Amino acid sequence: MEKTVHTQTEMFERTVFLMKSLRKPLFSKKKTYLSVLEKSLLLGLLLSFLLTMTGFSGQCEAIENQVFRFHVLANSDSQEDQALKLKVRDRVLEYSEGLFQNAQTREEAEALAAAHLQELCQAAQDEVYRQGYDYPVKAEITNMFFDTREYETVTLPAGCYDALRITIGEAEGHNWWCVMFPPMCLPAAEESQELNDVLSESQMEVVENGDKYQVKFFAVELFEKVKNWFQDR
């Protein structure tokens, strides 16, 4: 398997090298001939890389569709506001522990979150007040973009995930994220086992081997960012 990773990385590096070399001006017929050859080789490398990415991208999309994320955004990056964010996180997770324990799919977990959205928001708001602040709290179910993220022993690919999003005050501080379903956030949860209950064997191979698929994770993230950029225009 290490040999496969080396080959994919080497192919990616050669593609980048050839792309850079094609920027150089062409002065002779010989150079023009080599440029055509280089372009053909580049096209072949790109097509090969895209073919290897097709299956991987499909696995990443399947992972997106089975995971429900949890996202908390702090009022600011001050030490006090960041500490408050974690208090709110703990309070919402405490409330959620019994809420999602019987959910069998992402759809079920999301439906439960939507049905109890007001209570989740109130739990977060009560914690803000209990800590001596008067920031308003907002809770919503949304579909949002996440970069490639590592969580303990697993790596989740970049993409647009459904998420329970809690914003505190101006929501201009750093965020905290986790996975609400499967319940990886909960203290008793074991990340790999929880995911193993909902992901296929091939999908588990992806999330448990982040180092092995670094180039592919990078390519997926780049593609997702470009896609989102065009969609926002």
What does the block give as tokens for 215?
């180039």
Q: Please say if the pLDDT value at position 225 is more than 80.
A: no
Domain total for the chain?
2
Give residue-wise pLDDT tens across range 43-83: 555 555 554 556 677 888 888 999 999 999 999 999 999 99
pLDDT at 131: 97
Asked if residue 69 and residue 7 are part of one domain, the reply reads: no
Asked if residue 166 and residue 141 are part of one domain, the reply reads: yes
The structure's pTM equals 0.70
Asked if residue 173 and residue 82 are part of one domain, the reply reads: yes
Q: Which domain holds residue 114?
A: 65-199
Asked if residue 191 and residue 86 are part of one domain, the reply reads: yes
The upper half-sphere exposure of residue 56, i.e. CA atoms within 13 Å in the direction of its Cβ, equals 25
Note whether residue 123 is domain-resident.
yes
Angle CA 207–109–148, to nearest 5: 30
Give residue-wise pLDDT tens across range 7-43: 455 555 555 554 455 444 444 444 555 566 665 566 5
- Phi/psi-derived region of residue 122, left when phi > 0, alpha when psi is between -120 and 50, beta in every other case: alpha
Asked if residue 41 and residue 88 are part of one domain, the reply reads: no
Instruction: Quote the CA–CA distance of 55 and 4 in Å, as a whole number.
Output: 15
Q: What is the pLDDT of the chain when averaged over all its residues?
A: 78
